Amino acid sequence: MSKAAVVTGASSGIGLHIARALLEMSYTVYGIARDFGKSGLADEKFLPFPCDVTDVAMLGETVDNVRRTIRSRGERLHVLVNNAGVGYFGPHEQLTAAQIAAMVDTNLKAPLILTQRLLRDIKQSQGFIVNISSVTAKKSSTHGCAYAATKAALTHFGVSLFDEIRKTGAKVINIHPDMTRTPFYERADFREGDDPLSFLAPECVADAVKTALSQREGTVITDITIRPQKHQITRKAPSTPNPRPY
């Protein structure tokens, strides 16, 4: 029986590269994202499902459609990658209530709901749940404390969930990338440095996923932190700090 993977935020950035890596590993990949118009990924084993993960009703319908499609194709769900995320940055007092709600809904509520809906399938296949968290989950994060809080909560969820389900053979992996060159920071008031040693490429995060999925049975890499060799952040000229979701 062939293996299937579900990847949220699969239309660009880290999620798109994770989808490509899983295709290379012979998975059928079910991508979930708002819009796949610019993904450029054309593969018969990549099935896009447009969905706003912050819409609970839409997310539930999409999960049902994905599960039906997996069964109809004679596959089994083996990997869930909770990757979709959004970040708003700046002094906390300058964030709006809508921005805070968007981060909680996208970065935390959606992964919790999606995992709950697919957990039985993952346990049956003794598969993997991969949470793409952030290095900010592990340290003080001025200029982004609300974003960091949502990622810290996602990390803690993953740690606790693994202890809950490890006896079933299912695995939970938290991956903590540092600043990665993706569209995530396009509308933030800062970006990665110009030195190539000061940022990650999305392929680096995808490679970490491949490494975690390739361990011998019985060995689980539960926590991966990926950082660039150098620390360098470039401030942009003043603009509206509304980064797009990836």
Model pTM score: 0.92
Q: Average pLDDT of 181-199?
A: 81
- Is residue 32's pLDDT more than 80? yes
DSSP string, 12-33: SHHHHHHHHHHHHTT-EEEEEE
What pLDDT is attached to residue 243?
A: 47
Taking only the tens place, the pLDDT of each residue in 100-155 is: 999 999 999 999 999 999 999 999 999 999 999 999 999 999 889 999 999 999 99
Q: Is the pLDDT of residue 40 over 60?
A: yes
**DSSP string computed for 141-210:** -TT-HHHHHHHHHHHHHHHHHHHHHGGGT-EEEEEEE-SB-SGGGTTSSEEE-SSGGGSB-HHHHHHHHH
Out of 47-56, 150-159, 179-188, 224-233, least confident range: 179-188
The b/e string for 183-199 (b: 16+ C-beta within 10 A; e otherwise) is bbbeebbbbbbeeeebb
Domains of the chain: 3-235 (3.40.50.720)
Q: Is the pLDDT of residue 186 over 80?
A: no
* 3-class SS of residue 128: strand
In this predicted structure, what is the pLDDT of residue 238? Answer: 64
